[in-house]
Structure 1
Amino acid sequence: MRSMTIAERRARLGVRHRLAAAGRTDDVAGIARSLVVLHATDPATVFLSVAARSVRAVPAMVERALYDDRTLLRMLAMRRTMFVAPVELVPVLQFSTANALAAKQRRTYTRFIGQAGVVEDAAAFFREVEEGAHRALLARGEATGAQLGADEPRLRTQVDPAPGKSYSRPTNITTWVLVTLGCEGLIVRGRPNGSWISSQYRWSPVEAWLPGGIPAMPADDARAALAERWLRAFGPAPIGDLRWWTGWTLGEVRKALALLDVTEVDLGGTTGLVMADDLEPAAEPQPWAALLPALDPTPMGWQERDWFLGPHRPALFDRNGNIGPTVWWDGRIVGGWAQRADGEIAVRFLEDVGADARAAVDREAARMAAWYGDVRAIPRFRTPLERELTA
């Protein structure tokens, strides 16, 4: 069995994730493809992930790829997480993951409606409201949830999802319906109402990005295609990492892998998987530094992270497993960073890295400060070190 050392895995990470200097690019869609998808639960992450991997890109270039050229599309997919995906990958995500997610979301929301006793047939009601909202959006071409609520008044139906609980409040079903339509691949989140850190999106029919809608493909083929993309970006890795990243069952993961030509490698006592034609040793890049944002797709690409994270988890993760802003040196995490209220990028090293690394990190911090400009962005999920640096 071929062995792959931690050093080789770190080298592959630096090159394939475009973090080493030689791999950086201003091709926004190309950056997304290198990582399969960009994590987008926090809208700022998309932009800051591009910033870390680019040379001279600016936020307007990401906005152009998303909303003008429309080479990227925002959608819910793996683990019910928001991602920005290259448009050619959308059918793979839709049929490997999003269709099943849509069915699950509909069951959840119709249960809430049924428990509230709002209507006699919650499932039929939800479907009718979905169809009405979709018709209204097709007529408008683009709309906010409030605008669609004016066209389809049933969107303003109020339901308490957890009656009797202190944290629950009656809510309009607008978001439930639009999220489900999005999971079904019928509508998409478009340009936000605000700057690049805003999450108040306008909605558009999917045809605005993909004329004719999302091409159909068999679910098994879609899962195999996504597994291959992940292995080429994140492999070698244990099967458990792929299962965690996709959110699929172990049976679904194994079925997808059975359609691919994969091989096992020794990761130092753990068995990893890699595409059979991807065993060549990685070229060792020049030492590199990077400041990656909270929820960046690189550290969020694996469940087992000790080989690049080391002992720094307590400072850099919140209680729900979300990673905060991280400082990298040559393939491993060595600290954290934060943007302060005055725009300063504050860095804290969690280990001694030497003068060369500190100088390289300082240069990356200056680049990140220039990218932000006048924008101030607090991560959606705050971690201990990020809070300390901004106190």
Structure 2
Amino acid sequence: MHRIDDEQRRIRLGRRHLLAPSVRASSAPAVADAVVALHSTDAATLHLSVCARLSEPGIALMERALYDEVSLVRLLSMRNTLFTVSSGFAPFVDAANARAVAAKERRTFLKHLEADGKGLDARWLADAEQETVAVLAERGRASGSELSAAVPALRTKITVFPGTRQETVQGVASRVIRLLAAEGRIRRDRPRGSWTSSQFRWTASGPWPSSPTATAQAEVARRWLHAYGPGTEADLKWWTGWGLRETRTALAAVGAEEVLLDGGAAGWIAPGDLGPEPPVEPWAALLPSLDPSAMGWADRGFQLQADHRAALFDRAGNIGPTVWWNGRIVGGWAQRADGEIVWRLLSDVGQDGSALIESEASRLTAWVGDTRITPRFRTPMERELTA
């Protein structure tokens, strides 16, 4: 069996994830396609991940792609997590993951409505949704609070988990809006605050072109293999949130080729991708929490030493801001209250590595400007660096 060692995996990461300076992109959609999908649970992460890979980073370019051109779109998709993908790839993600997530969201919400005992049902929900979409169509865009003010049904409160320790009273507005967004009937527009804010305005949207689920899953797998391969069956299953049967079916559909990884595990690559990736120049990167280069695999052993994990991950398994050197995670970084970018290394990178890390920190400081960034998922090292 053909073998692809860890060093070759790190070379592939540096080139295919656009992290070496010579391969950086000129557009945000190009970055999204290179890494397949960008984590967007934390609004700041999206911008930081893209700008780290742009030859000329800037928030104006990101906002144009997200809100003017709509060449980037946010979808509740893999692992029931908010991702941003290019508009050209969005129909495949919708069919491969987002539709199933939306269907589950609807079933769960209807159960909560039924358990509340006020007679709220699928018809009531459909009417509330229709009125919400109509308001957006008329106004163009609106925040969640503005929608609640305009649509009386959105001001309804229900009791969830009645009779249990988790019993609580909740408003339905966020659930209805989330469901409409999950189904592609509305989408997130410009936030109410800066680019680090997750308090979005909303605007009406339309459904994505229909595609068979199996066809879409094969396309997602094909793109993942190119960007993250070689990876294991378990890696793809974890990243997509699919079941084992779906994962194996998608790998077979694209004709994935099996290879041997360091340590003896079997990995998979895209068809015809056996050749070695040409090396890139030495590179360093400061990547945000949940960056795709750290979150693309279930097993990150080829890029992360096991004894570094405790400092860089929170208890839920979310990775924080990381410092990279030639495909390895070698430390963490943070922004202090005065705006200073600080970092700590967990591995020796030598003088050349330290100089490049310093240069990346300066580049990050320059385009972030006066914005202050606090990751949603805070890790031990990030907290220590900002203390």
Secondary structure (helix, strand or coil) at the match of 1:203 reads: strand
Distance in 1, Cα, partners of 2:18 & 2:239 = 20
Alpha-carbon RMSD across the aligned residues, in angstroms, is 1.4
Confirm or deny: 8 A CA contact 1:75 1:189 kept in the other structure: no
CA shift digits 1:92-114 (9 cap, x unpaired): 01111111111100111111122
- Out of 325, 347, 353, the position equivalent to 1:351 is 347
After TM superposition, give the deviation of residue 127 of structure 1 in Å. 2.6
Aligned to 1:210: none
- 1:143 counterpart residue number: 142
Which whole-Å CA distance do the structure 2 matches of 1:156 and 1:216 have between them? 33
Q: How far off is 1:116 after superposition?
A: 1.6
**Distance apart, 1:55 and its partner CA:** 2.2
Give a deviation string over 1:250-287, Cα, whole Å, max 9, x none: 11111222211211000020000111211110111111
In the TM superposition, what whole-angstrom CA distance separates every residue of 1:266-317 from its partner, at most 9, and x where no partner exists? 0020000111211110111111100000111110111100110112110000
Residue matched to 2:69: 69
Report the CA distance between 1:32 and its aligned residue.
0.9
CA positional deviation for 1:165: 6.2
Unaligned runs of 5+ in 2: none
Cα shift readout 1:298-355 (whole Å, capped 9, x = no counterpart): 1011110011011211000001110000000001000000000010111100121111
**Are the aligned partners of 2:115 and 2:162 in contact in 1 as well (CA < 8 Å)?**
no
TM-score, length-scaled by structure 1 = 0.95
**Aligned equivalents of 1:35, 1:186: Cα separation in 2:** 26
Instruction: Name the structure 1 match of 2:302.
Output: 307
State the partner residue of 1:292: 287
Distance 2:101 2:284 in 1: 37
Shift of 1:159: 1.6
Identity %: 48
Q: Secondary structure at the match of 2:242?
A: coil
- 1:58 positional shift: 1.0
Q: Report if aligned partners of 1:20, 1:288 keep a CA contact under 8 Å in 2.
A: yes
1:18 is aligned to 18
Distance in 1 (CA, whole Å) between partners of 2:208 and 2:146 is 25
Question: For residues 168 and 339 of structure 1, what CA distance do their matches in structure 2 show?
Answer: 38
Number of residue pairs aligned between Structure 1 and Structure 2: 385
Residue 39 in structure 1 maps to residue 39 in structure 2 = yes
Equivalent in the alignment of 2:376: 380
- Alignment CA distance shift 1:27-1:261 (3 Å): same
Structure 2 counterpart of 1:336, which letter?
Answer: G
Question: Residue 273 of structure 2 corresponds to which residue in structure 1?
Answer: 278
Letter in 1 for 2:118: V
Q: Which residue of the partner structure matches residue 88 of structure 2?
A: 88
**Offset at residue 197 of structure 1 (A):** 0.3
- Structure 1: which amino acid aligns with 2:41? T
DSSP 3-state at the match of 2:89: helix
Task: Determine the C-alpha separation between the residues in 2 that align with 1:371 and 1:161.
Answer: 44
Partner SS, residue 248 of structure 1:
coil
Instruction: Give the TM-score normalised by the residue count of structure 2.
Output: 0.96
SS at match of 1:336: strand
CA distance in structure 2 between the aligned counterparts of 1:154 and 1:205, rounded to whole angstroms: 18
- Give the AA of the match of 1:385: M
For the residues of structure 1 that align with 2:363 and 2:191, how far apart are their CA atoms?
25
Give the match for residue 8 of structure 1: 8
Match of 2:194 in 1: 195
Secondary structure at 2:344 match in 1: strand
Q: What is aligned with 1:219?
A: 213
Aligned to 2:259: 265
Alpha-carbon deviation of 1:164?
5.8
